[in-house]
Structure 1
Amino acid sequence: MALVKKGSRGITVDGARYRWTVRRKMTYDQGQGWVPFTFAVEHAEGTGSVLVVRLPCEHPRSWMGGRSMAVRPVLVSLAVRTALTRGWMPLRPGSAFRLELAERELPGDTVWFTADC
């Protein structure tokens, strides 16, 4: 599974190039607040497994108006480093590697906001 290049952003983490993206349209389950906010990362070569990161919040456009955050490069680089230490091999083909970040693992400067319903 490869990420769509349109709308993805590049990032370099510890000398390796990656691309990351946030789904533009939330799913129905995300809108209801049943499924956490996620984003995906892959190696720039796009030949290996994709990293899917689950965050401890709702999608910013959720209809429930719960707490959310913006996905910033500092969060993406933290997720990549964490996934690598937990066994993600971005150049090896295979199924998606799932990483769930707890609130205590987020960067200290994370800005939380509540969506307006």
Structure 2
Amino acid sequence: MALNKRGSRRIVVDGNGYRWLVRRKPTYCQALTWSPLSFAAERADLPGGAALVVQLASPRPDNWLHVAGPPVLPSMVAAAIRQALAHGWRPDRPGSAFILNLAEKDRAAKA
């Protein structure tokens, strides 16, 4: 899965360049806050590698119900990339997207 270069942002994490992207418009489920905010990332120099999809615990800031949600910050993206690499994401190898669900980890920490 290759990310669209248009609208994506570059970030350098531990000396490697990545591109990350938040969907321009919310999906129907995200707009109704049924699904959380998510973003995708991939290595900038290896566009054929496995992508990373990160699901956050918060709703999208532009949801239809006006539920407050924080924006995705570059520091959040860098932390998620480091965490995904520690959990086995291999951005240099082709394959299906690696899903990092931070929403479940937040729920487990609160319990």
Q: TM-score, normalised by structure 2?
A: 0.89
Task: Compute the displacement of 1:64 (Å).
Answer: 1.8
The residue matched to 2:79 in structure 1 has which SS? helix
**Once superposed, what is the RMSD of the aligned Cα atoms?**
1.2
- Which protein is richer in helix relative to its size? 2
One-letter identity of the residue aligned with 1:3: L
| 2:60 and 2:71 in contact (8 A); partners too | no
1:42: which partner in 2?
A: 42
Measure how far apart 1:98 and its partner are.
0.3
For structure 1, which runs of at least 5 residues remain unmatched after alignment?
105-117
Q: Which amino acid aligns with 1:62?
A: N
Q: Percent identity?
A: 51
Amino acid at match of 1:17: G
CA contact (8 A) 1:57 1:66 kept: no
Separation of aligned partners in 1, 2:58 and 2:68: 6
Aligned to 1:108: none
| TM-score, normalised via structure 1 length | 0.84
Q: How many residues get paired? A: 104
Deviation at 1:65, TM superposition (A): 2.1
Alpha carbons 2:36, 2:57 under 8 Å: kept:
yes
The 8 Å contact of residues 50 and 96 in structure 2, kept in 1 or not, is answered as yes
Write out the 4+ residue segments of structure 1 that deviate beyond 6 Å after TM superposition.
Answer: none
Alignment-derived partner of residue 15 in structure 2: 15
> 2:99 — aligned with what?
98
